[in-house]
């Protein structure tokens, strides 16, 4: 029997959204976009500017950007795939906001990320160490060019 899956994702520039939508489609899962209450502008995302919004948020370990809505159907899922771009070698703090907004007890949480060069390992460890009650089943950095078959093969081991 196949488990019910939810693909929840944050995408600042559309790259992670593309992967997340392809993943959800390939495994017949619901999807939910984690949208910040205050959307990020290109200036906010300028990692080379120490005063940009994303730089300030990522320097503050307790920063929790507010989410626009809390309508993700986490309760209806057995497996929750959480996707994000890697910022400063880890998950953006809005992912913490999302995890803290829902009850993941009894759920399998699988992380996936997009990045130009950084691997997902530090992101997985950081989230595992922060949320010890959540059952994380690892994670994968996924390239934008991943095919539906590749995504289905990877995700299938979590939902079958």
Q: Which fold has domain 5-159?
A: Rossmann fold (3.40.50)
Give the per-residue pLDDT at 144: 87
What's the confidence (pLDDT) of residue 116? Answer: 86
In the prediction, which pLDDT does 15 show?
95
Tokens representing 9 are 């994702």
DSSP states of 77-125 as a string? -SEEEEEEE-BTTB--HHHHHHHHHS--TT-EEEEEEE-SS--SHHHHH
Alpha-carbon distance of 74 to 10, in angstroms, equals 15
C-alpha 153/C-alpha 79 separation (Å) is 15
Question: Which residue, chain included where needed, has tokens 């959480």?
Answer: 82
Q: Is the pLDDT of residue 1 over 60?
A: no
> Domain extents for the chain?
5-159
Residue 138 pLDDT exceeds 90:
no
- Per residue in 92-123, pLDDT (tens digit) is 999 999 999 999 999 999 999 999 889 999 99
Mean pLDDT of 41-52: 94
Instruction: For residue range 49-95, list pLDDT tens digits in order.
Output: 999 999 999 999 999 999 999 999 999 999 999 999 999 999 999 99
Distance CA 8, CA 151 (A): 15
Mean pLDDT of 38-59: 94
């Amino acid at each position: 029997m196949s488990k019910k899956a939810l693909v929840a994702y944050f995408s600042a520039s559309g790259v992670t959204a593309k992967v997340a939508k392809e993943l959800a489609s390939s495994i017949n899962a619901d999807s939910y976009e984690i949208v910040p209450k205050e959307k990020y502008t290109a200036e906010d995302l300028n990692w080379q500017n120490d005063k940009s919004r994303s730089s300030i948020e990522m320097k503050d370990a307790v920063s929790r950007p507010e989410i626009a809505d809390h309508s993700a159907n986490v309760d209806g899922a057995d497996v929750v795939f959480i996707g994000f771009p890697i910022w400063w070698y880890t998950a953006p703090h809005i992912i913490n906001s999302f995890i803290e907004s829902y009850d993941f007890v009894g759920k399998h949480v699988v992380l996936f990320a997009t990045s130009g060069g950084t691997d997902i390992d530090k992101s997985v460890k950081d989230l595992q160490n922060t949320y010890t009650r959540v059952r994380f089943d690892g994670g994968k950095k996924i390239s934008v060019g991943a095919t539906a078959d590749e995504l289905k093969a990877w995700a299938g081991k979590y939902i079958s």
